[in-house]
Structure 1
Amino acid sequence: MLESPVYKRIVLKVSGESLAGQNGFGIDAGMISSIAEQVKEVVNLNVEVAIVVGGGNIWRGIAGMEKGIDRATADYMGMLATVMNSLALQDALEAIGVPTRVQTSIAMQQIAEPYIRRRAIRHLEKGRVVIFASGTGNPFFSTDTTAALRAAEIEAEVILMAKNKVDGVYSADPFKDANAEKFDQLTYLDVLNRNLGVMDSTSASLCMDNNIPLVVFSITEPGNIKRVVLGEKSELL
């Protein structure tokens, strides 16, 4: 019996920390290979996959600002970090036979395509994975906001929020608070009112306004992306 995915087009949000694996910094070859294999499993189900990659494993704009760097400059540095991660993920995907295109919001034509909505959709229709790099191209916006924005633009059915260590949304950090409550179902208003850390307020508002559901899951266990796409984990928001 053929496995039937519940989504046709998805946006997968991968944090930079996920690419670092247990190292906490940089790119872990084993982890990025695992993510690529998981994406390939989903592509083999004829699901159209777009990916937004963070850059926190290399540089975080807010951390740079705390060190005295101008906020806009620090954010641009973070955008460049997402490009490095995107190229690494593209290489890992193409090494296992998954055609992939990187599109950047900041022009760098020697290494990637510029972000063009209609071209991105055409790549997806042809079965190619599209990785959206360099955030929105503007400072003061997170890659979570990029995921929400691109999902709305390409008319994705869902955002899959891949977390490095946790398997969902909790009322507090489960590694610091033993009494942290895990939520099975929430609304975006809950996220905003409770100030939950699943995504920032800008991205939550954008998802709420455009009726984009969200699934939060752990990416560290092989096969989890496929399980989500097959409906084994329901939409949280």
Structure 2
Amino acid sequence: MSAPQPVHQRILLKLSGEALMGDDAFGINQATIERMVAEVAEVARIGVQVAVVIGGGNIFRGIAGGSAGMDRATADYMGMLATVMNALALADAMGKQGVTARVMSAIDIQQVVEPYVRPKALQYLEEGKVVIFAAGTGNPFFTTDTAASLRGAEIGAEVVLKATKVDGVYTADPMKDPTATRYTRLSFDEAIGRHLGIMDATAFALCRDQKLPIRVFSIVKPGALMRVVMGEDEGTLVTA
């Protein structure tokens, strides 16, 4: 009997910078990043093409106090540089686990990482490399959620996987309300109507317009990423 095949062949994984902190106040927790990379490596080895958009909140949080009153565009560019730092750390950790990763930046830092070029990104994915998109969209006033939606649409991802610390979208905060229940599936219109705040409005609208599904799941739950790509009931699926 042949082994079960993944239902998704190309995914866009959205990781927040905070997901890399573990229990630390800011920065990168090495044990946390190694565990996450192991999950990504597992799905990459069964042939799933994986692209990642990484946030920078874990690093920017450490300097946020000094940024009070700063020009918004300047602060956003600082945040973009933080995502590049996270992307380099993620690629390094992947290399140590035998996974080839390529970092592509939306802002030009060619001495450090290569620029984002869509055909090159597609080539890397088809070669089985993990592609890590850094620096958001390259523009201030746009979040890395929007970058995830944009890059997902550009590379033809079948789904955007929003990795969080909670295993899906709930009717209420499950940490505060033990009666809260998880939605297994929602339409975009239902999510908007219920003000669920799954992604920022720009990112959400882009996914809806491009008919690009979003699945919210827990990156801290062991094996959750594999269960998602295999089509199991994991997290919450938001679709048209």
TM-score normalized by the length of structure 1: 0.93
Q: Root-mean-square deviation (CA), in Å?
A: 1.7
- 1:186, distance to aligned residue in structure 2 (A): 1.1
Determine if contact 1:65/1:74 at 8 Å carries over to the other structure: no
**In structure 1, what is the equivalent of residue 85 of structure 2?**
84
Q: Within the alignment, does 1:36 sit opposite 2:17 as a pair?
A: no
Cα distance 1:4–1:179, how it changes in 2: closer, same or farther (>3 A)?
same
Determine if contact 2:51/2:125 at 8 Å carries over to the other structure: yes
Instruction: Map 1:87-106 onto structure 2 (within 5 A).
Output: 87-106=88-107
CA–CA separation in structure 2 for the residues paired with 1:233 and 1:87: 32
User: Which aligned segments of 4 or more residues in structure 1 are displaced greater than 4 angstroms?
Assistant: 63-66
Cα distance 1:65–1:148, how it changes in 2: closer, same or farther (>3 A)?
farther
Instruction: Calculate percent identity across the aligned residue pairs.
Output: 55
**In structure 1, what is the equivalent of residue 129 of structure 2?**
128
Instruction: Map 1:178-189 onto structure 2 (within 5 A).
Output: 178-189=178-189
**In structure 2, what is the equivalent of residue 13 of structure 1?**
14
CA–CA separation in structure 2 for the residues paired with 1:82 and 1:134: 6
CA–CA separation in structure 1 for the residues paired with 2:126 and 2:209: 26
CA–CA separation in structure 1 for the residues paired with 2:221 and 2:134: 24
CA–CA separation in structure 2 for the residues paired with 1:139 and 1:5: 36
State the AA in 2 paired with 1:211. K
SS of residue paired to 1:57:
helix
Cα distance 1:208–1:136, how it changes in 2: closer, same or farther (>3 A)?
same
Cα distance 1:162–1:115, how it changes in 2: closer, same or farther (>3 A)?
same
The number of aligned residues is 234
Determine if contact 1:64/1:74 at 8 Å carries over to the other structure: no
* 5+ residue gaps, structure 2: none
- 1:125, distance to aligned residue in structure 2 (A): 0.4
CA–CA separation in structure 2 for the residues paired with 1:225 and 1:32: 14
**In structure 2, what is the equivalent of residue 107 of structure 1?**
108
- 1:26, distance to aligned residue in structure 2 (A): 0.8
1:154-175 residue CA offsets vs partner (Å, 9 max, x unmatched): 0110111111x21111233332
- 1:126, distance to aligned residue in structure 2 (A): 0.4
**In structure 2, what is the equivalent of residue 71 of structure 1?**
72
Q: Within the alignment, does 1:210 sit opposite 2:210 as a pair?
A: yes
**In structure 2, what is the equivalent of residue 224 of structure 1?**
224
Q: Within the alignment, does 1:145 sit opposite 2:146 as a pair?
A: yes
Q: Within the alignment, does 1:195 sit opposite 2:173 as a pair?
A: no
CA–CA separation in structure 1 for the residues paired with 2:58 and 2:80: 12
CA–CA separation in structure 2 for the residues paired with 1:203 and 1:65: 28
Determine if contact 1:3/1:45 at 8 Å carries over to the other structure: no
Cα distance 1:201–1:124, how it changes in 2: closer, same or farther (>3 A)?
same
* 5+ residue gaps, structure 1: none
**In structure 1, what is the equivalent of residue 3 of structure 2?**
2
- 1:185, distance to aligned residue in structure 2 (A): 1.4
